[in-house]
């Protein structure tokens, strides 16, 4: 036994990341390390740039024409904006759950099976069935949909759709999962299931979660980053952030004194 086991390796790093929408700068010089051991929460007032920054981490912002990213973002030390980077592959490795649920207009089954299929993760129908069931189980949706897997994903309720998207994200067994307010449309039980899932996935995947719910951030994360007006004001251990933040702006925000 060596003490090496406690060494934390960074799964993703960002250095001096700026993001612009046209002329308007939305993110200003953000440098952060994301590791496998800890769940990282992004908190901050609406419009501060959490989603924008999260999207840079798997190049989802490529789909927004006016959006420009500078600085460096790496996955396992590799620059994800390098020309050699395969974006489809990148998004399989860095999965994302969006703020608004966005199921494909396909069956519940196909919503989950789509990723494993195109990435060749299942050797046959049986294995695909197993992946679909397991993913739905983990997202806390299986019991509700197991008898209607052929119905359209868009026919589900908002909260069910969100869990479907979470199931879809974990079905491809990503290395990093970015979740943008995954529980904002969920009831407390479904929320608890997602939080349980996050606990379960911790250590296997690097996880980043954006949440407006302070208690949720405190419950599920070990590291918290506070964003304000496009900058990362404070980044530290969650327990410290919520009991003794170092920055006044953080304190004002988490104690409800903001604005």
Ligand X SMILES: Nc1ncnc2c1ncn2[C@@H]1O[C@H](COP(=O)(O)OP(=O)(O)OP(=O)(O)O)[C@@H](O)[C@H]1O
Residues of this chain that bind other proteins (CB under 8 A): 214-215, 218, 242-248, 250-252, 254-259
Q: Which does 252 bind (CB under 5 to 8 A by kind): Mg ion, ligand X, other proteins, none?
A: other proteins
Taking the least distance from each CB to Mg ion, the nearer of 112 and 179 is: 179
Binding to Mg ion (CB under 5 A) within 42-61 occurs at 51
Say if residue 187 is exposed, middle or buried (CB neighbours under 10 Å; 0-12, 13-18, 19+): exposed
Could you give the residue ranges of the DSSP H alpha helices within the chain? 50-56, 87-93, 108-118, 125-138, 142-145, 158-171, 188-201, 214-220, 238-243, 248-254
Distance CA 105, CA 71 (A): 36
Taking the least distance from each CB to Mg ion, the nearer of 50 and 138 is: 50
Token pair in block for residue 23 = 């002329």
Taking the least distance from each CB to other proteins, the nearer of 159 and 245 is: 245
Q: Smallest gap, in angstroms, from Cβ of residue 51 to ligand X? A: 3
Taking the least distance from each CB to ligand X, the nearer of 54 and 94 is: 54
Taking the least distance from each CB to other proteins, the nearer of 192 and 214 is: 214
Query: Applying CB under 6 A, which residues contact ligand X?
Result: 21, 26, 44, 46-52, 64, 66, 99
Cα 136 to the center of its chain, rounded Å: 17
Cα 179 to the center of its chain, rounded Å: 2
Q: Smallest gap, in angstroms, from Cβ of residue 31 to ligand X? A: 17
Q: Smallest gap, in angstroms, from Cβ of residue 62 to ligand X? A: 12
Whose structure tokens read 């900058």? 231
Distance CA 237, CA 232 (A): 14
Q: Which does 256 bind (CB under 5 to 8 A by kind): ligand X, other proteins, Mg ion, none?
A: other proteins
Whose structure tokens read 């700026």? 18
Q: Smallest gap, in angstroms, from Cβ of residue 184 to Mg ion? A: 10
Q: Which residues bind Mg ion (CB under 5 A)?
A: 51
């Amino acid at each position: 036994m060596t003490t090496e086991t406690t060494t934390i390796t960074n799964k993703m790093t960002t250095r001096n990341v700026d993001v612009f929408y046209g002329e308007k700068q939305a993110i200003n010089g953000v440098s952060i390390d994301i590791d496998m051991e800890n769940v990282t929460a992004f908190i901050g007032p609406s419009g501060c740039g959490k989603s924008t920054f999260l999207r840079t981490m798997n190049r989802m912002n490529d789909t927004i024409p006016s959006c420009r990213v500078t600085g460096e973002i790496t996955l396992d030390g590799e620059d994800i904006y390098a020309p050699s980077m395969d974006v489809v592959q990148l998004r399989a490795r860095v999965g994302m759950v969006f703020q608004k649920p966005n199921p494909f207009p396909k069956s519940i089954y196909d919503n989950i099976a789509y990723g494993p299929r195109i990435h060749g993760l299942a050797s046959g129908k049986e294995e695909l069935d197993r992946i679909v069931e397991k993913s739905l189980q983990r997202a806390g949706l299986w019991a509700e949909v197991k008898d209607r897997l052929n119905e359209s994903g868009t026919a589900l309720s908002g909260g069910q759709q969100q869990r479907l998207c979470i199931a879809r994200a974990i079905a491809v067994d990503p290395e990093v999962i970015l979740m943008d307010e995954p529980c904002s449309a969920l009831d407390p039980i479904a929320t608890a299931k997602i939080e349980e899932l996050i606990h379960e996935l911790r250590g296997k995947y690097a996880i980043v979660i954006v949440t407006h719910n302070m208690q949720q951030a405190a419950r599920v994360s070990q590291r918290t980053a506070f964003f304000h007006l496009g900058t990362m004001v404070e980044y530290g251990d969650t327990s410290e952030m919520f009991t003794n933040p170092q920055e006044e702006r953080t304190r004002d925000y988490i104690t409800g004194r903001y604005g």
